[in-house]
Structure 1
Amino acid sequence: MERLQPHLVGLVTALVGFTSSFAVVLAGLRAVGADPRQATSGLVALCAVQGLATVVLSQRYRTPLTAAWSTPGAALLVATGSVAGGWPAAVGAFVVCGGLVVLTALWRPLGRLVAAVPAPLAQAMLAGVLLALCLAPVRGLVAAPLLVAPVVLLWLVLLRLAPRWAAPAAFAAALVVAVVVTTRAGHPPALVAPLVELTAPAFTPGALVGIAVPLYLVTMASQNVPGAAVVASAGYAVPWRASLLVTGAGTVAGAAAGGHAVNLAAITAALPASPDAHPDPARRWVASRTAGVCYLVLAALAPTLTALVAAAPAGLVEAVAGLALLPALGSALAVAAADAERRVPALVTFLLAASSVTIAGVGSAFWGLVAGLAAWRWLRPRVAAPVPSRT
């Protein structure tokens, strides 16, 4: 049983990581201009890149390191929407984001600059980005209560009994609905061959400032840093520079095919690093390697799942995506509002990031961070002058 244990945990890791957020990725790619084929290509590229990155890192360092796509980054794309230059400009922003991650590994001052962004503001920006998607279940319950309510109920029940499977089960239920709908319409689901559609990147100021920079910051602050912390808390030495080099280079390589960002896993990282993977900590890396292999298999199945998502009733899959992101929204809001003296700058960042406004062709996430930093600086607590002693 001990031989099978890490492989089973690796399978669960890949299934949870994929099913809990692949609809968010598709929504993000479509929001910034990808057509259905390009979005499908992006999902295939992301699965393949994160699978290869996971196999390479876990095998090379004998450490339960798992790569994943940037779910907060995909939510950022949903909030940003199309930019000047369309899909090629978005692809160019993905290339720059990956390049910035590689540069962070090679040039320490950039890492220090990212670390200087206050955590409450980074998390407030993430919360603003997630808000629109997390409202989708509410809208879905109003627009199609008979379809969405059972899925929400299933999610709530499993959140109580088996939290790890709540989001994947909700997605599975939504896919079942899609199968029923397509079958009744006379178009039963069928296997779709994997496809990769390359797009030449274009580099526009609006996409670089509105997508590349926020995507880089969100990916670093919400995925790479906590992902490394999860693995380190389990007692492993994390090869930080190597992890950034592999995931950053992978992001650059997969960008032309539509992949937005690959990084260290944060939420699912705890599964391979836990005793559930193997009693011997030195053998838990096998679970991560198995997860990487499973991601490669899922890359081949991604087009079929994408077709099912496209066939689902309007608003259903978006509602499930919102449910999956609720824990991330709650965590981001908790960090953003933790310091009472710094709450106003965090609120400024949150509200602007959630507004979906576009100024000078640049999306709201960037402006939220800029306004938040300005408010953070202006409203910084004053240091009281020392009272002279009278003795």
Structure 2
Amino acid sequence: MTEAAARPVSLAVPIGAGVVTALVGFTSSFAVVLTGLRAAGATEAQAASGLFALSLIMGFGIVGLALRYRIPLTLAWSTPGAALLAGTGAVVGGWPAAVGAFVVVGLAIVLTGAWPRLGALVASIPVSLAQAMLAGVILPLCLEPVRALAASPVAVAPVVLTWLVLQRFSPRWAVPAAFGVAAVVIGLALLRSGTSVPTDGLVPTLSPVAPVWTWQAAVGVALPLYIVTMASQNIPGTAVMASYGYTVPWRASMTVTGAATAAAAPVGAFAVNLAAISAALAASPDAEPDRDRRWIAAVTAGVAYLVLAVGSAALATLVALAPAGIVETVAGLALLGTLASALAASTQHPSDRVPAAITFVVAASGVAVAGIGSAFWALVAGLVVRAVTADRG
């Protein structure tokens, strides 16, 4: 009898890894999602609806793909995309126009899976510029912990200190733990003020809105959101899976995530994609020594996301009642790692540093021209400067 055959088969390890994957993925960035949706014009109810819809899509999508292909493929909402929404703010046409842009993003992702040339076109965008755009967009959110700490040190300091300590001992739990402390701070603030939590907001519901298509939203929201989702999530997610010996079913993954995004956009789903950073939690040997059984971790993660979806409305309600600066602090801390990675990638090639710097500055400015947000203009400016400064010798 071989050693593998002699070893007792236990589901505890992959199931535990799957639960951790969902918990880390959800709690580390749901505050960013709510912040982005509200900045795009969603009401509190519509933002909660979006969080609920995204959680359902991820749960069902992961279970379906993992069972079909027997690989630990996991999905996620686009955290960089949510940060982009927060940086872009409301667009011409308001929330219905933003919803229309989400539909466009979903259809573009489906087209990417069906038409390889579109994927190649996205891949041809210089990584340095795409990452500089992302860094510029999320910079304002990453500054929020500093502003909040200066304005309300007593309330914010415990959140920041918790994050800092966990960065030393268990980085993956740093943001979830910071939100846990933030929840305590919010609870104490509600007790002091005598504010009661509305019970009608604790049950998750979907709040549909008819999409409206405007060219400003298509150019200023849909295009940057699509680029950020592909460049920062889908392409890196494929690379992470390949590093563990798995081939992502590209067309099927793009079809599932894109179609689900387009279909659920009216209820607030802005972008679902392949998991990138959290993908390793289910695909690495730590999730299960036997690589042929790691799909169990992914399926468990999908089920866990469905369970978390049930509690999404309660979390959204808690966030809505939070004192100024608390949720923004958690969101900013959650994006610091993304900011660091984006800045590093944007300055990797010396020849692209000036174009990347221009891209970063324009994106961080938050300036909108002709109703189009800074993310689009940042990419245009970076491409123009890159073309002008390119070595023609």
Q: TM range, normalised to the smaller chain? A: over 0.9
Counterparts in 2 of 1:1-391, with a 5 A limit? Answer: 2-189=10-197, 192-383=202-393
- Please say if residues 181 and 311 of structure 1, whose CA atoms lie closer than 8 Å, have aligned partners that are also in contact: no
> Can you list the C-alpha shifts for 1:354-388, whole angstroms capped at 9, x where unaligned?
110000110000000011011111111232xxxxx
Kindly provide the CA deviation profile for residues 157-198 of structure 1, in whole angstroms up to 9, marking residues without a partner as x: 110001110011001111111122223333454571111010
Q: Distance in 2 between matches of 1:114 and 1:299?
A: 32
CA RMSD of aligned residues (A): 1.1
TM-score, normalization by structure 2: 0.96
Say whether the 8 Å CA contact 1:50–1:67 is kept in structure 2.
Answer: yes
TM (norm. structure 1) is 0.96
Distance across 1 between alignment mates of 2:184 and 2:23: 17
Structure 1: runs of 5 or more not aligned = 384-391
Decide whether the 8 Å contact of 1:2 with 1:278 is kept in 2.
Answer: no
For structure 2, the 5+ residue unaligned runs are 1-8
Amino-acid identity (%): 61
Q: Secondary structure at the match of 1:30?
A: helix
User: Are the equivalent residues in 2 in contact too, given 1:94–1:255 (CA < 8 A)?
Assistant: yes
| Distance in 2 of aligned mates of 1:296 and 1:92 | 26
Give me the whole-angstrom Cα distance separating, in 2, the residues matched to 1:276 and 1:256: 38
User: How much does 1:125 deviate?
Assistant: 0.5
CA displacement at 1:2 relative to structure 2:
2.8
Write out the 4+ residue segments of structure 1 that deviate beyond 6 Å after TM superposition. none
Cα separation, 2, equivalents of 1:376 and 1:63: 40
After superposition, give the CA deviation of every residue in 1:254-299 in whole Å (9 maximum; x if it has no partner): 1010111000011110000011211100000111111111111111
Tell me the matched-pair count.
383
Mapped to 1, the partners of 2:267 and 2:89 lie a distance apart of 19
Aligned-partner Cα distance in 2 for 1:232–1:108: 19
